[in-house]
Structure 1
C-alpha cells in the first residue's frame, strides 16, 4: 500500500494509527483526492479495506471509561440508605461490646443489619452490571450503516467498517459516519449542529477550496453531522477518534447520567419514609425507657426497628422493574433508549403518526399507470419484478423517464443472480421506497434501468426537497450532443410546470380541458388510496441547467399510482389506542384523498367527514386558530405537510397539556422527534439522524409496536405502585403490634428486630421483584392516560396501603394477644425464654409472612379480580412467596435458626389459623375490587365516567 498524506507538513508519509489525514485535503482537486488518499473512484478493494482496518482500527468513537467492577461494587455502599445501615450496624456492634453480659441477640442484630447492606449492594451491583450489558446489546439492535463503493460495487456496510480511502455515497437523510472530502456533490447541504451548534443547513461542494480551518471547508463533511438535501460521493480521510467529532465526544460520553423524574420522585419518597422510620425508632425508645427497660437493650431494639422500616431495597427494585419493562418492549420490537420514555409512555395522550411504513408496509407497489387518457393496470405485489404492465408499449417512455429519475437500487435476493425473476422473498430496495417501486414497474414494462442509465448517463441532478416536491435529473443522449431533463414529483407541482402533454406518442399543448382531465384522473387514483406521482421531461441546452431551467416548460408523460398496503396488525392497535383514550393524528406528506383512504382502512377515521387540513391551510392559521382546531374532538388528518408543520403541531399540542408521541423516519423529522415527549423513529427504514433524535426506535416500523409499548409503559408504572403497596402495607403489620404491646403495658415486644429483618430479607425482596415483572392487566388499555400530575403515593395508593396493612396488623395482633391471654400468665411474669412468648412471637412473624403471600396475590391487579387473570399466571411470584413461607418454616422448626430468632415450633392448627387470616385478607381485597367495578359500571350507565 502506498503512503498516505500525513498531518503537519503535507508531505507523503506513513499515516497515523488513528487514520487521520490532517493535510489540507480540501485544497486538492477531486481527481487528486483519490491519489492523495491512495484509493480510486471504484473504491478500495476488499483486501485493502481489511488491511487498513487492521492498521487503523474500527471506525468507532471512544467510549467513556466505565467504572471497574470493584468501583461499581464500592459505589453501592455510598448510597444514603447503605450509609444509614452501616452506621446502625456499627452502633449495634459497639452496644454489644459495651453490654456487661454481651447479649448474643445484639450481636445477631448487628450481623443481620450488615447482611441487609450486603444483600442490597449485591442486588444493586448485579442490576447495574446487567443494565450496562443490556444497553450494549440493545444498541447493537439498531445498526448504523453506510453505502460504500468496494471493488466498484455499491454495498451497505456497518459504519464501524469504514477506513480511510473508502468512497461513500451520501443522500438526504444520511448520517455522516466519518470525516470525508466530497468529490461529487449535487445540491448538497448538511446540518453541522453537532459540531458547530448552528442548526441552519449549509451548502457543500466537490470543488477545491482555499486552505484554512478544516471545519470551515465547504468540500468536507464530518462524522456526527447529517445530510439534509442532495446527494454526493466522498472519500473518507479520518475515522474514529481521529475525526473532528471524536475530539469532543469524550466530554459528552463522560458526562454523568441524570436521573429521571420518576427515579427522583421515588428517591425523595424513600428519604421521607426513612425520616419517618427514624422518628418512630426515637419515639419507641422514648416510650420504653421510662418503663424500666434496660437502656442499652431499649436503644438496640429501637435502632433495629428503625433499620427494619427503612425501604432499603426500594431503589434496586425500581431499577429492576424499569429494566424489565425496557427488555419486554425490546422483545416486542420497541427499543427504548431512555428510562424516562418508559414513564412517559404510560401517560401518552396523542400520537402523531406517519402513514408510510408505520401504518403501511413501506413496500410501495405501482398498480396503475395512466398516460394519453388510458389506464394501464399493473400486476404483481412488492419489490420482486414479477408481473406485467397491461399494454406497456404506449407507456414505455414514461417508465424509462421514471426509472432514470431515481437514486434507488433494486437488490435481488442474496446469493442469486438477476434472473430468474421468481419469488418475492428477499427482494429489497436501497434508497427511497417510491423510487424502488418505479424501478420495479419499469422492469415489468420491459425496461432495463441499468441499461438505460448506461445509454443515457446522468450528468446533473436537482434533488427532491419538501418545499417544491420535485426531483429532476439531466442525462446525455446517444449522440452525445443533446441533453434531456427528466422530472418526477407531486402531480399538482409538476402539472403547474407543464406546457405540453404526451398523448399516445404525440406531443400536444396542455389545454385547460386536458389539464382538468389530468387533475380528475389524479383525484380518482388518490381516492382509491393510491399515492400518485407525475412524470415529465424537456430538452435542455447543456449538461448543467439551473433548477428552474430543468423544471419548467415540461411535457407531461403521465401519472403512476402506487399502493402501500396497510399492515394487518395496525387496525387492532388503533382500536386499542382508542379504548385507551389516546388520540391518533395522521401527519403525512401525501394527498388528502390518499391519506383519508388509508386512515379509513386502519380505523383512524370512522366519521363521515373528518377534519382534513393541508400544509397550506396550516400556513394560513395563527396559533389561536391552530389551538382551536386541535381542541375540537373531530378526527384529524394533516396532509401535504412539511417538517416545519409537524413541529408546529407538536408544539401546539403540548401547549394544550397533551403528552405527545411523534413518529418519523427522515432527517427533517429530527426537530419534531426531539421536541416530542416521546420521539419514535423507524428502525428498519428510518435514517440514522431520526434514530439518534428519538427516545424510542421501532425495530419493525409498525404502529402496532407503539400501542404495545404504551401498554407495557402503563404496566411498568402500575407494577411500581403494586410493589410499593406490597412493601409498605407489611410495615404497618410490623409496627402496629409493637405500638399495641407498648401501650398495653406488655414488657416484651410481639416481634423482635431480628425477626423484622428476616421478613424484609425473606419475604420482601423476591416477591417485590416478581411484582415488578407482573404482565399487564387485561384492562390496562381500557383506562384513560395517566395524568402527569399523578403521584406514586396518591390518595388511592395510601388508602390501599392502610386497608391491606390494617387487616394484616389486626390479624397478627389478634393471634399474639390471644396466645398470651390463653396461657393465663400475668404480663409481668413473661420473659424472653418463656415458651408461650416464643410461640406468640413466632405466630406474629409467620402471620406477617403468610399474609404477605396472600397480599402479593391481592395487589397483582387494581380492579380486576386476581382469579380472572389466573393465580398461576405469574409463577415467579408464587415461587418467591413459597420461598418466604419455607424460610419461615425453617425458622420455626430448625433448632439452629430457633436459637438465632428465639422462635418455637408451630402446630398445624397454628398454620391453619394464619392461613385463614390470609384468605380473609384476599377476600376483603377482592370485595373492595368488586365494589369498585360495580361502582364504576353504575356510573358509566348513569353517564358519569369514573376512573
Structure 2
C-alpha cells in the first residue's frame, strides 16, 4: 500500500475546520447533494458534501457516525432457531428413522395383545432422531459463531485524511465527507465522488456484473445514473490500476451495494463436494437398508411368524444398517478441522478447501512475505566504484551507513521519490511501514544516514508524479527546489540505465560510457546473485510542465544502486522439507530478478540442485500451451521469475491439465483470477489486498508458507479422520447384521439382537467414539505419504475392503459367541422363547460383544499404517473415555433390572466378559498384522524426489 502524501498547497499542520454547517440529522439531509455531485467540478465537491481537501475533523466525523451509524452492510437474515432445528429432521437418515418409528407406533396400536417392547422400540427410534437433531442444531449454531469470529480476524481498514493528517481508520468508522485514498488492489469502502485520479480503472462486477475494468476520472460528468458516472466509485467494487482521492458520499445501507446486498445476503449456501457425496452415500445406504429389511420381512412371513414380529425383525435389520450418528459426526469433524487450522493462522473460508488440501500436489508460492519476513532492509549501497554497507535489520531506524557522505544524495533522492511512510511504535506495535516495503527500506536507510526526511520534503515539495508502472518498472516524482524543478526516478536497474546518459561520481557528472554502463550492470547482477533486490536511483533537472512521462524520464544522471534483502523466515526450510517428503512440488512464482529468486530459493530449500529450471515472464509470453504443458510435465526444480499474475494463472492451468491439484498464493488484486482458478487459492491476510482475500478459499493470517504446510497436514488429517470414523461406523453395522442373517438362514426363530439393542449400541458406542476419532491428531507419517488421487472417492475400494475386513472379524466373533451359547444349552432352536434365560443371555452376549469389539476397533482404525502402540495406545484420551462410557452403559444394561426389562437382557458373568474381551481384541490384532505387512511393502520416498 502507498501512504498518504498531502499534495502541494495542502495544510498538514493540524486540524482544519470543515465548514460551518449546522449539526446534521442523518444521511437523508444530503440526498440531493449526493445525487447532483457528479456534475460538479472537483473543487466544488468538498462544500457540496460538507468536507474540505484536508478531510474532516475527528469531532465532525464522530458526530456524523453517531447520526448515520456505522459504515456496515446489513447482515443476512439468520434463520430462526426453530427453523434451524426443524431443518435437522430433513436429513435422509432422519426421515427413514422417523418413518420407522411411526410405523412401529402403528404396529403397537394394532397388535393384540400389545407388546411393551414394540412401544419401547418406537420410543427409542424417536429418541435417536431427537438426539441427532440436537447435536446437529448445536453444531450448526456453533459453526455460525465460529465463522463470524474467524471472519473478524481479517482486518478491514482504509486510508483517510482526518484533522489534515493521513492515517488509517476501520472501514466501519468511515462517514460522509471523509477524504479517502485509493490505489490498485483496494476495495472501495463506500460510495465516493472522485476529486483526484491517476490512471484509475475499477472493476464494477460486484455492482453491474461487468468484469471488464472501466476508467474513472475526477472531471465533472453529465447528469444521469450514478452507477454510470465516470467520476464515481462504489462500495464493494475493486480498484484495478492507478491511484485516486475521493470524498465519501454515502455509507452503509445508503450505498448502491447496500441496496443490492440486502437482496442477495440471504442466498443459501451450496453444498460442498464432500457433503454431496455423503448425501449420495446416505441415499444408497438408506435404500439398501429398506430393501434388505423388506426382503427379510418377506422371507420370514411365510415361515409362520406373526406380521408384527416379522416387521420388528425386519426393522432391526434396517436399523442395523443405518449409521444414525453419521451426520452429526461428519459436521463436527469438519468444524474441528477448520478450527485447528485457524489456530495455526490458516483461515479456511470454504469446506471444499479442507477437502482439496488433502490432495494438493503442487504449490505455486510467492516469495516476498510468504517465504520471507516481508521487512525489506537496505544492506548495501553502491555509488560509483564504491560499496557502502548498512547495518540494522527491519524497519526500526537503528544502524548506520558506512561513510554516509557520498551516498546522502542518492538516499535523499530515493526517499523523496517514495509514497510510503515510516510509522513509529504505537499501541504495542513495532516500527512499521505504511505503504510499499521497498520504499520503507529506503526511508529507513535515509534515516540511518542522518537525513531528516520531514525537513527534506519541506525543502523540496513534490509538484508532480508519475506512479509506478509495472511495464516500465519505475516511478518518478518532480520537486520544486531552490528555484529549479528536478525529477527523481527509482526503479529496475536496467530500465534506469537505459534512460541514463550521465553518472554522478560524487564530485561531477560524468558521461555514462558503454564501459561504465556495463560496470554498473555488472554490480547490479552481482548484488542480485547474492539474493538482494536492487534499485537504481537517478535524477535530472527538468523544464516545462510534467505531462509527458517519456520526455521527463530520459537523459538522467545515475546516482547509484541500493541493494536490499528480505530475510527468509527461519521456520520455512523445515516446512519446505516436509512438503517435499509429502510428494508436493513447490514452484516459486515471483516478480523478482532470477538471480534473487534463486538465491532465496536455495536458502529455504526449494532449490537444491546445481541447475534448476528458471523461466522468465518474457519466455512464458513466447511459449504456447503445448510447450507450457511440457514444461509442467518436467520433473525437477522450477522457478518462475519476472512473471505477471496472468503468467501465474497460465502455469496453474497447465499443471491442472496434467491432473495436478494446485494451490496458488497471492496478495494483489491482479492475483484474483489465479486464486479463483486454482484448486486452492491462498491469500495473504496481513499484506494481501481485499480483492485477493475475497477470491481465495484460504487466508493466511501470518502470510507464512509454514501455515500452508501446516494446513496441508491438517487437511490430510481431516480427510483421513472422516474415513476413519466411516470405517468405524460401517464395520460394526456388519457385526450387527450378520447375527440376524445367520439366525434367519439357520432357522433360529428369534433375533440374536433386537432393534432396541441396536439403537443402544449406536448411541452408546457409536457417536462419542466417532466424534473422538474426528478429533484424532494427524498421524506422524501423514506428510511422508504421497497425495491422494484427485478423483478418489470417499468410499474408495481400500475403505470398503477395510470395512469388510474389520466388520467380518466382528461378525464372526459375535456369531460364534451367540450360537456357541445357545447350542451349549442343549435346547433345540424351535423351543426357544423370548423369555428363555439362555436366549436373554445370548442376546446380551451379542450386544456386549459388539460393544467390546467396537472399543478395540476404534483403537485399530486410529491409524492406517502406523502401529497404534507406536502412536500411543492412550494418546487420544477422548477415545478411551468414549469407549469406556460405552462399555459402562453396556454393563448397566446387563445388570440394572430396569434396563434389563427395556433391552431384554440378562446379567453376564466374569467369564463372559473375559470371553468377550478375547473375541473383541481380534479386530485390533488382525489389523496390526495388516499394518505390519503394509509397512513392510512401503518404500520411503527418496529425499531429493519432489514428485
Looking at structure 2, the residues matched to 916 and 551 of structure 1 have their Cα atoms a distance apart, in angstroms, of 87
Q: 1:818 maps to which residue? A: 820
* Structure 1: runs of 5 or more not aligned: 7-11, 417-424
Q: Is the 8 A contact 1:20 1:239 kept in 2?
A: no
- Distance in 1 separating the partners of 2:54 and 2:509: 41
For 2:532 and 2:287, locate their aligned partners in 1 and report how far apart those are by CA, in whole Å: 65
Report the equivalent of 1:421.
Answer: none
Give the corresponding residue for 2:781. Answer: 779
Q: CA deviation at 1:936?
A: 2.1
| Of 824, 843, 846, the match for 2:845 | 843
Q: CA RMSD in A?
A: 2.0
- CA distances 1:165-216 after superposition (whole Å, capped 9, x unpaired): 1111222222111111122223322222322333333332223222222122
Q: State the distance in 2 between where 1:23 and 1:567 align.
A: 51
Tell me the CA shift for residue 99 of structure 1: 0.9
1:17 offset after TM fit, Å? 8.4
Q: Give distance in 1, aligned partners of 2:655 and 2:208.
A: 30
Structure 2: distance between partners of 1:940 and 1:575: 12
- SS of alignment partner, residue 16 of structure 1: helix
| Residue 281 of structure 2 corresponds to residue 269 of structure 1 | yes
Matched residue, 1:504 = 506
Residue 127, structure 1, aligned to residue 131, structure 2: no
How many Å apart are 1:116 and its aligned residue? 1.1
Supply the distance in 1 between the matched residues of 2:39 and 2:458 (Cα, whole angstroms).
32
Mean CA deviation greater in 179-188 or 907-916: 179-188
Q: 1:743 pairs with 742, 745, 748, which one?
A: 745
> Are residue 29 (structure 1) and residue 31 (structure 2) matched?
no
How has the CA–CA distance of structure 1 residues 294 and 216 changed in structure 2, closer, same or farther, with 3 Å as cutoff?
same
Of 359, 374, 379, 1:347 maps to 359
Question: What per-residue deviation string (whole Å, max 9, x for no partner) do you get for residues 246-266 of structure 1?
Answer: 222233322221111111111
Give the whole-Å Cα distance in 1 for the aligned partners of 2:805 and 2:345.
39
| Distance in 2 (alpha carbons) for counterparts of 1:286 and 1:367 | 85
Does the 8 A contact of 1:18 with 1:57 survive in 2?
A: no
* Residues 1:453 and 2:465 aligned together: no
Output aligned runs, 1:390-789, within 5 Å.
390-414=402-426, 426-479=430-483, 482-789=484-791
Higher RCO, Cα 8 Å, sep 6+: 2
Give the Cα separation in 1 of the matches to 2:396 and 2:444. Answer: 7
Query: By how many angstroms is 1:415 displaced?
Result: 5.9
Give the Å deviation of 1:52: 1.4
Residue 934 of structure 1 corresponds to 936
TM-score, normalised with respect to structure 2: 0.95
2:175 counterpart SS class: coil
Is the Cα contact below 8 Å between 1:346 and 1:785 reproduced in 2?
yes
Q: 1:909 aligns with which of 908, 911, 930?
A: 911
| 2:19 and 2:47 in contact (8 A); partners too | no
Quote the Cα distance in structure 2 between the aligned partners of 1:820 and 1:303: 23
CA contact (8 A) 1:270 1:314 kept: no
Matched, 1:381 2:393: yes
What is the DSSP-based 3-state SS (H/G/I as helix, E as strand, rest coil) of the residue aligned with 1:545? Answer: coil
Q: Secondary structure at the match of 2:27?
A: coil
Give aligned pairs, total: 928
Give the equivalent residue in structure 2 for 1:232. Answer: 244
TM-score, with structure 1 as normaliser: 0.95
Moved more, 489-498 or 721-730: 489-498
* Bigger mean CA deviation after superposition, 13-22 or 789-798: 13-22
Distance 2:436 2:357 in 1: 30
Question: Aligned to 1:77, what secondary structure does the other structure show?
Answer: helix
Q: Per-residue deviation at 1:539? A: 2.1
Shift of residue 15 of structure 1? 3.0
Call closer, same or farther: CA 1:248–1:940 in 2, change over 3 Å. closer
Moved over 4 A (4+): 1-6, 17-21
- Match for residue 924 of structure 2 among 918, 922, 927: 922
Instruction: Determine helix, strand or coil for the equivalent of 2:198.
Output: strand
Change (3 A) 1:265 1:415: closer
Q: 1:287-337: per-residue Cα shift (whole Å, max 9, x none)?
A: 211221111121123124313422232222211111111111100000000
Cα offset, 1:270, TM superposition: 1.4
Q: Which residue of 342, 363, 388 maps to 1:330?
A: 342
Further displaced range: 33-42 or 344-353: 33-42
Cα shift at 1:3: 9.3
CA distance in 2, matches of 1:769, 1:844: 24
From 875, 888, 891, the counterpart of 2:890? 888
CA positional deviation for 1:763:
0.9
Paired residues of 1:691 and 1:697 also in contact (CA < 8 A): yes
Gap change, CA 1:333 and 1:781, over 3 Å in 2: same
Whether 2:836 is the aligned partner of 1:834: answer: yes
In 1, the alpha carbon distance for the partners of 2:168 and 2:174 equals 11
Q: In the alignment, is residue 81 of structure 1 matched against residue 83 of structure 2?
A: no
Deviates most, 638-647 or 184-193: 184-193
Alpha-carbon displacement from aligned partner over 1:407-452 (angstroms, at most 9, x marks no partner): 1111100169xxxxxxxx7101111111110110011111122222
TM-superposed CA distance for 1:893, in Å, is 0.9
Query: How far apart, in 2, do the equivalents of 1:505 and 1:346 lie?
Result: 62
CA deviations on 1:117-157 (whole Å, 9 max, x unpaired) are 10111111111111110110000011111112221222222
In the aligned structure 2, how far is the partner of 1:932 from the partner of 1:510? 69
SS of alignment partner, residue 240 of structure 2? strand
Counterpart contact for 1:18–1:56, Cα < 8 Å: no
SS at 1:170 equivalent: strand
CA distance in 2, matches of 1:659, 1:940: 20
Q: Does the residue aligned with 1:452 lie in a helix, a strand or coil?
A: helix
Return the match for 1:108 from 120, 128, 133.
120
